[in-house]
Structure 1
Amino acid sequence: MRSTTASPALPVDLGEARRVAVDAAEAAGALLRAGTGGPLVARPKGGNGDVVTELDTAAEELILGRLRAAYPGHRIIAEESGVLDGADGSHLVWLVDPLDGTNNVAIGMPVYAVGLALCAGSVPVLGVVHDPVSGRTWTAVRGEGALDPDGAPLTLAPRPRPGRERNPVLGWTQGHAVKAGDPSALALRTALELRCSRLLQLWAPLVAWAMLARGDIDGIVGYRPELVDLPPGALLAAEAGAELRRLDGGPYELSIDRTPSELGFVAARPELLARLVETANRALDTAGPDGQIPLVR
């Protein structure tokens, strides 16, 4: 749910920072939307099946240019460029995911997003998620709520659907470093599939986070998720009213100084959270070496 702690006093106007971030994300989105209509060459990125295209780098360069022009002192952590120090060693840090869903774009599937987050030290205080396909943008400021594309308050309101309470629709995300045979990941996915009507593996977590914030889906579970695309979406969903917990059910602290193993989460509309946490706990507690688990209803 919305953080009860407002953003700390910062040497930056968060309203202006939101405007800069939205403009940058939407400009990058226009570039991506135009580029996905033509030939695209995907290159391997690392050894975990991830890919990168010229659209990733072009969109990132555009965003970095906008951020550097507005905030030359801020540090930046970008998906393709890595860590870029600011001019004055500021404790303010931007996270930039210029194209969340590159694997989708590479196969011609129009499911992708642009994400930016501003952090005060390790704590995200501003999140922006832009969907280039629809041209819509959602934003959130820590402790101040989330806004929809029209600038109106965004509150998680589940979309009516028969049987939704018994059979929710869930999202799943895992980091690129998670191996195909990881027993915990397999156990979690299997348990979730047994207790929902559909488990979405979109390859674009920011899209799933926006869907949760809007109430289109009921929850998301993340196992060793990627860092750069987590804060913008998680902050958006939390400020819209979603609840987040660790996989073991403990309080979830959204912070960029955590390791992948510490970033695992369960996020859901409040009335579903306990059920998902129970499912995750049972799956992880009972998973064998092959990830098989008993059916729990």
Structure 2
Amino acid sequence: MDLDHARRVAVGAAEAAGALLRERATGVLGIRSKGRGDIVTDLDLASERLLLERIRAAFPGHRVVAEESGASGDPGAEWTWLVDPLDGTNNVAIGLPLYVVGLALCHGGLAQLGVVHDPVGGRTWSAVRGGGAYGPQGRLPSPRHRADRHGPVLAWTQGHAVARDDPAVRALKAALDVRARRVLQLWAPLLGWVMLARGDIDAVVGYHAEAVDLPGGLLIAQEAGLRVVGFDGKPFDGRTDLPADRRDFVAAHPDLTDDLLGLVTTVLR
């Protein structure tokens, strides 16, 4: 598998979908509920159609798992694409220009390629496993650990199926609010991953995270030099076969990870 070729295809597809989203995002949206506070719009579906056409044309033997249409292609295929056509749908629905397009290519359940495109800023980030993470200005340097007496800035993400009154979530978020300078809830997890990879924020904490938008963003952060561990303290790689209740993690600069993990484990003990 030529991953550099796959990256070029994925970047081109994500940027084409981004152009479509940017053009239509300020228009009238057809919106319907998917349940549990999640929604889908006509934009999600149009972007997904474009991405699927590009991927299937370039890689007809690959399996595809898309956010809206689910799985297609040979279930026994060696390679699987994960497609998030519009990460941040709820933001778009309220007129907040905070959304991205995400793609990941997995082998054996592990992401080998990740691409995130920001249509609003016209910027793209990508990574191939073992090859580093790249942004608009080239290879991303390892983010520096910024010690701040007011605490880190971090992003929180959780799965759509998590109940609003989940006691673990309430306890974790309360503890993080005390420990952190700011806790961001972006409604666009992939955006949180690239902000972490760029060094804009210090950490991402996830609880029962969604599967489609996890592996690609996680790979970009890892390839930029960030450490990602599960709540059990073991390395976390976001494999696609993990059940939702095992998609819990702390991602941060290596100098900060143990501190945040200690906070999490203390709360959940």
Compared CA separation, residues 165 and 139, structure 1 to 2 (3 A): farther
Q: Are 1:105 and 2:92 matched, yes or no?
A: yes
Contact 1:41 1:106 in 2 (8 A): no
Q: Are 1:170 and 2:154 matched, yes or no?
A: yes
Count of paired positions: 269
**Structure 1 letter corresponding to 2:57:** A
**One of 22, 34, 44 as aligned partner of 2:11:** 22
**One of 80, 100, 120 as aligned partner of 1:133:** 120
Contact 2:218 2:237 in 1 (8 A): no
Contact 2:100 2:119 in 1 (8 A): yes
Which is higher, the Rg of structure 1 or of structure 2? 1
Q: Distance in 2 between matches of 1:156 and 1:195?
A: 24
Equivalent position of 1:291 in the other structure:
none
**Structure 1 letter corresponding to 2:207:** Y
1:134-168 deviation digits (Å, cap 9, x = unpaired): 01000001111111123x211232496xx625511
Contact 2:114 2:127 in 1 (8 A): yes
Indicate the SS of the match to 1:66.
helix
**One of 51, 59, 63 as aligned partner of 1:63:** 51
1:89 Cα deviation from its structure 2 partner:
4.1
Equivalent position of 2:36 in the other structure:
48
Q: Distance in 2 between matches of 1:125 and 1:251?
A: 17
**Structure 2 letter corresponding to 1:83:** A
Q: RMSD between aligned alpha carbons?
A: 1.4
Gaps of 5+ in 2: none
Contact 2:15 2:117 in 1 (8 A): yes
Equivalent position of 1:294 in the other structure:
none
Indicate the SS of the match to 1:233.
helix
Indicate the SS of the match to 1:57.
helix
Equivalent position of 1:153 in the other structure:
139
Contact 1:158 1:214 in 2 (8 A): no
Equivalent position of 1:247 in the other structure:
231
Contact 1:73 1:89 in 2 (8 A): no
Matches within 5 A, 1:190-229: 190-229=174-213
1:249 Cα deviation from its structure 2 partner:
1.5
Q: Sequence identity of aligned pairs in percent?
A: 56
**Structure 1 letter corresponding to 2:53:** G
Q: Distance in 2 between matches of 1:189 and 1:66?
A: 40
1:74-131 deviation digits (Å, cap 9, x = unpaired): 0000000101124x94210000000000000000001111000000120110000101
Contact 1:248 1:280 in 2 (8 A): no
Contact 2:92 2:98 in 1 (8 A): yes
Equivalent position of 2:24 in the other structure:
35
Q: Distance in 1 between matches of 2:152 and 2:166?
A: 25
